[in-house]
Structure 1
Amino acid sequence: MIDHRGAFRRPVRLIGTVVLAAMGLCLQGWAEDPSSGDDQLGAVRDRIQQYEKKLATIERETESARVERERLQTQVDLAEARVEEVELELTSSRNEVVRLKKETTAISRDLEQRRAWLATHLEMVSLLGRPGPLQLVWDGVRGGHLEDSVGVIVTLTAGQAQMVKEYNTMQADRAARQAELSRILERAGREMTELSERRQMLGSARRTMDNRLARLKGQERSAESKLADMRAREAALERLLNVVGRKKRFTAKQPIQRYRGALPWPAQGRVVRTFGKHFLAQYATYTVCNGLRLAVESGVLVKAMYPGQVAYARHFKGYGNMVVIDHGGEVFSLVAGLSSIHARVDQRVDMGTPLGVAGLEKEEGNLYLEIRVGGKPQDPKGWLRLK
């Protein structure tokens, strides 16, 4: 009896081999096609522009914590200066009050003296000129001293008028000083009220600064703790990959370097953090991302980007479920943040083999991709095909 199933399997295997070979030739031809150079150059230039924009943003954000402290201190300094300003104005007003009180007292004393002098003078004139000015003129005519008599009358009258004028002037001057004194006292009252308000504002500004600085210090301590934890996780991953890299598991038929720039993405999504140095505003410091953080749809399959052998497939602290693949030639790729793992250690995988399922979506990305060559991190974008 003829086994048709075996006969059927042989053509299928042959067809599969031919298809895989054709795919390899197509990939090789695509990767080596010079016509793709212009597109890649344009993409690189676009990335350069993006990095330049990010650098400008980072330089602005770097100063955020220091600027916040300076802003708070400036608010306190401004409040202190305003308090000092009002205190000086109030001191000036008080000095003016003292001066005007002295001047008013002196004028009042002079007025009393002038009033007494004027009263005495009028009394003397009254005694001397009891018959009246006409009698004095008549006596002068009879005695042959008319001009002298008229001169005496004119002198007495002019003197009285001058004294009265000076007295009135001094009274007006005193009234003006008293009015000015009232205005200054009123102004001083307003300044005292304003001084009280500004002292309250100063106290409020100081309390705000103290509270804000306390929060900043708390955030700094928290950031330092989180950064230390992040660096500890990175160091642990570094040690793991160094250990994994010592064992040679896989030799590729075609070196992965041959398809650099043409490899498929492990899952379709959006890059939320690129490879390299980044400023983290929440920690007010720089950190280094050794791969790409992607935002992909939760539940999608995460696939191998090139044939290889699974070197690690389990939970790793700080990264979640993680799969590391040895692609040969000291090239390793890892994907982390999986909700479940579909691969096992030492399993041979092909391009597109499911490695696991993407976890829940997060603001900072839910899938982490890293590529290392000779133990050193590489920018995955240089290996993956352009989107």
Structure 2
Amino acid sequence: MTGRAPSGGGRALFALPLAALLLAAPLAAQEAPPVDTIEPPDQALESLERSIAEEKARQAEAEKRARALKAEIDAVRRELVAAADRVQDREAALTYMENELSRLTREARQMSDTLDRRQAQRAQVLAALERLALRPGSALLVQPGDPADAVRSALLLRAAVPAIEASARELAGEIARLAEVRAALRQQRDRVASASDALAAEHQRLNHLFARKRELLAKAEETSAEVEAHLAQLANEAADLHDLIDKLNAERLALAARALAPRPTPPPAPEPAPVETAAASPKNPPTSPRADQLAALSGLSPGEAKGRMPLPATGRVIRRYGATDPDGGPASKGLTLATRPGAQVIAPFDGVVAYAGPFRGYGRIVIIDHGDSYHTLLAGLGRIDIAVGQRLLAGEPVGATPAEEDSNLYLELRRQGQPINPLPWMMARDG
């Protein structure tokens, strides 16, 4: 019995590994991926290349939409330049009309006051003459007093009548002139009201263009982000392809289908509906000659544009570069313009917005970088319509002065950080 024990024990010991192998086989079968789920390397590579080609097509489509948006933004910006120029033209015309209205009002008031005084004087003279004329000649002879006084009164009456008649004719002429002035005053009020309505319409159009520009810029940012995302995805796909090729060359191992499956491609973005740009719309008025002059500044350096830049707002220069401060402060480093309330402010030259917002001692300011170490500072704004980093065209609106009387706009031109006289760079508006 002892001789058979080792044999039986050996069979038992041999059966244990065999049983373990038999038990482990189903587990191994469960952990290993099915053979039919493993994609051959060549097919995986082809699938990945097809995914990359689709990404490239999507990238090209996104870039195409970005170019179309840029063209539309440029068209809106050109229309903004023309619209701002029309606003400034109407502001200048309205300011002239209002000044003429004030002059006519003062003239009518002065004439009316003068006529009232002269009519009061004539009324007193006529009353005295009337009393004198009511006395008959015989009564003058028998009334007590010096006969010479009676004769003198008669002579005075005879001499006064022609003068009174001439004065009456002059008075009638002055009354007719006052009627003409009052008629001109009414017409001027109508013209001012019409010009105010036209200016309000231009402002409304300008606000519409601002809204359209903001919408297009937002779309452009979205499209730019989409292009960047596609580029990043394409780079990732390219990296995956490189890794795959390395693995195929090094080990030629089959990869799991889940690892090699191409990244789900989102459905292509819908084609944007065609939008009629501001420049192409038949309802838009033609651009002004001045807007065409401003467009000709594109591509020039600030030095080459000397004498051709527009003043940023319509108004009177009330303080020049280098003028002393009446309160004893430092000399002026720029120009100060007296503008109408809420006057439109434009960029004097192409550039990029370097700063836009409040600044101590200056109020709301805008700094524009024109390149070649030239910068423009606009201070005293009541409203700012642009943002930092935005590119501007010469004549493009940037904001408005405060909507209150005695509005002033300060303009400063700097070269290499030092203020210079901006007046030689500016171009006067016709009229």
> TM range, normalised to the smaller chain?
0.3 to 0.5
> Highest relative contact order (Cα 8 Å, sep 6+), 1 or 2?
2
Task: Name the structure where helix makes up a greater proportion of residues.
Answer: 1
The higher radius of gyration belongs to 1
TM-score by length of 1: 0.38
TM-score by length of 2: 0.34
